[in-house]
Amino acid sequence: MRILLCGGAGYIGAHTYVVLVERGHDVVVADNFSNSSPGVLARLRQITGRPVPFQPLDLRDRDAVTGFFAHQAFDAVVHFAALKSVGESCERPLDYFHNNIGGTLNLLHGMREAGVDRLVFSSSATVYGDPERVPVREDARLQVTNPYGRTKLVMEELIGDLCRSDAGFHAANLRYFNPVGAHASGLIGEDPTGIPNNLMPYICQVAVGRRDRLSVYGADWPTVDGTGVRDYIHVMDLARAHADALDFLVRERRSLTVNLGTGQGVSVLQLVEAFAQAAARRIPYQVVARRPGDVAEVYADPSLAERTLGWRAELGIEAMCRDAWRWQSQNPQGYPMA
Ligand code: NAD
Ligand code: UFG
């Protein structure tokens, strides 16, 4: 297939690019680099051994999006492009609505005009908010607690309406749990701008000496050791699920919404310990107050993904830590400036 990756220069998009090229697809990356580096393209070329077709594109620019689709033919789009910081979304909700929802509307419009009728969409476990029970199934109550989460929920609903309006348009909403890790080459990985919000990149920066110590947000949660429990999933497993979702859309000609997680809950301190082992170094940490908006325990029931896509996570927490550390230790400051 000829596939467009919107936001393909970002963390999950870049890893997915590699898997799709390995599966023989013809893949084009489009991005505005608002949260990524052009340096990733050279790395993707190094991994795949071939030039990386790239299109500068800002999804907020409707004319540019429609114009781009008018001159290209695609069999499917994978849509990663979004702003993703929960804290920032609380400070600048309108920017999040404009970029994530507005950008998605422009993309859907461009796809419709060009007759592209398969979409894989990056949704998030954030749509479950504080779940009533774990493991979380796809039919759990949806509730959001911040503007970022609201954009994901609204986008799922918009895409659902479009699918219902047109029997020929099919979408896969992939609800990612907590993506971590990196490609085994150590050439691509997660490269957050500024102070990392998420646990794994923070641990990586402590390990490599860029930060003094990790703040553990609360050790008084009702969990195995008092720290927050999440479902960390290796980004290469996640990338593979996108290829499987594209195959599903072609094969089954219907839409679906699935969780992508391992089904295993891991606490903050368990992840710190696993990382310390993988990197063979101590990770200094201090326990501080709970982070506002956090929840105790979230992990997936991933069985629907196995039944529908034939997909299940294969890489465990050791591989996630080992690969995250390989990337961080080989690239202490992230991607080189282009
Ligand atoms: P990322 O920020 O690394 O990648 C997103 C990419 O989209 C970036 O390259 C950015 O420059 C681009 N982009 C943003 N707005 C754009 C626009 N208007 N036009 C063109 N490009 C634009 O994030 P990621 O971690 O790779 O996440 C990918 C997707 O998965 C996002 O939609 C995110 O919300 C979702 N998601 C991520 C996580 C996570 O923890 N990483 C968890 C659940 C869901
Ligand atoms: N944590 C710390 N210290 C840190 C960072 C995180 O103790 O410096 C803890 C958190 O309190 C939480 C756990 O580590 O218990 C994981 O936190 P992350 O920020 O890595 O991940 P979250 O599950 O809170 O949120 C992430 C994304 C959301 C997304 C969600 C599910 O930020 O946007 O995963 O996909 F919705």
Q: Note whether residue 260 is domain-resident.
A: yes
Q: Note whether residue 209 is domain-resident.
A: yes
- List C-alpha distances in Å: 284 to 2, 95, 164, 219: 46, 36, 51, 15
Distance 21 CA to ligand 2 centre (A): 30
Whole-number Å distance between alpha carbons of 145 and 70: 38
- CATH number for the domain spanning 206: value is 3.40.50.720
Whole-number Å distance between alpha carbons of 256 and 329: 38
Along the 338 residues of the chain, how does pLDDT read in single tens digits?
999 999 999 999 999 999 999 999 999 999 999 999 999 999 999 999 999 999 999 999 999 999 999 999 999 999 999 999 999 999 999 999 999 999 999 999 999 999 999 999 999 999 999 999 999 999 999 999 999 999 999 999 999 999 999 999 999 999 999 999 999 999 999 999 999 999 999 999 999 999 999 999 999 999 999 999 999 999 999 999 999 999 999 999 999 999 999 999 999 999 999 999 999 999 999 999 999 989 999 999 999 999 999 999 999 999 999 999 999 999 999 998 75
Listed in order, strand segments (DSSP E) in the chain are 2-6, 26-31, 54-56, 76-79, 118-124, 170-176, 178-180, 214-217, 229-230, 232-234, 256-260, 266-267, 285-288
Confidence at residue 150, expressed as pLDDT on a 0 to 100 scale: 97
Which ligand 2 atom sits nearest the alpha carbon of residue 196?
A: 8
Identify the residue whose C-alpha is closest to ligand 1 atom 4.
10
- List C-alpha distances in Å: 144 to 74, 127, 129, 178, 230: 33, 6, 5, 17, 17
Q: Given CA atoms 258, 263, 269, 271 in this order, what sign does their dihedral have?
A: negative
Q: Given CA atoms 236, 19, 177, 134 in this order, what sign does their dihedral have?
A: negative
Distance 85 CA to ligand 1 centre (A): 10
Q: Note whether residue 336 is domain-resident.
A: no
Confidence at residue 338, expressed as pLDDT on a 0 to 100 scale: 56
Whole-number Å distance between alpha carbons of 134 and 301: 8
Confidence at residue 248, expressed as pLDDT on a 0 to 100 scale: 98
Distance 146 CA to ligand 1 centre (A): 17
Confidence at residue 96, expressed as pLDDT on a 0 to 100 scale: 98
Q: Note whether residue 299 is domain-resident.
A: yes
Domain count, the chain: 1
Distance 195 CA to ligand 2 centre (A): 14
Give the CA angle between residues 131, 135, 141 to the nearest 5°: 35
Q: Given CA atoms 270, 271, 272, 274 in this order, what sign does their dihedral have?
A: positive
Ligand 2: which of 173, 199, 220 to mutate, most ligand atoms within 8 Å of CB? 199
Distance 14 CA to ligand 1 centre (A): 10
Q: Note whether residue 113 is domain-resident.
A: yes
What residues are in contact with ligand 1 under a 6 Å CB criterion?
7, 9-13, 31-36, 57-60, 80-84, 99, 103, 122, 124, 176, 178-179
What residues are in contact with ligand 2 under a 6 Å CB criterion?
84, 86, 124-126, 148, 176-178, 197-199, 202, 214-217, 228, 230, 268, 291, 294
Q: Note whether residue 337 is domain-resident.
A: no
Identify the residue whose C-alpha is closest to ligand 1 atom 6.
7
Whole-number Å distance between alpha carbons of 300 and 124: 11
Taking the CA of 80 as reference, the closest ligand is: 1
Q: Note whether residue 148 is domain-resident.
A: yes
* Residues labelled catalytic: 148
Identify the residue whose C-alpha is closest to ligand 1 atom 41.
179
Give me the domain span that covers residue 321.
2-330
Which ligand 1 atom sits nearest the alpha carbon of residue 33?
A: 11
For the chain, the C-alpha Rg in angstroms (whole number) is: 19
Distance 199 CA to ligand 2 centre (A): 6
Q: Which residue's entry shows tokens 């400036």?
A: 337
Confidence at residue 337, expressed as pLDDT on a 0 to 100 scale: 78
Q: Note whether residue 335 is domain-resident.
A: no
Q: Are 28 and 5 in contact (CB under 8 A)?
A: yes
268-280 burial: b if 16+ Cβ within 10 Å, else e: bbbbbbbbeebbe
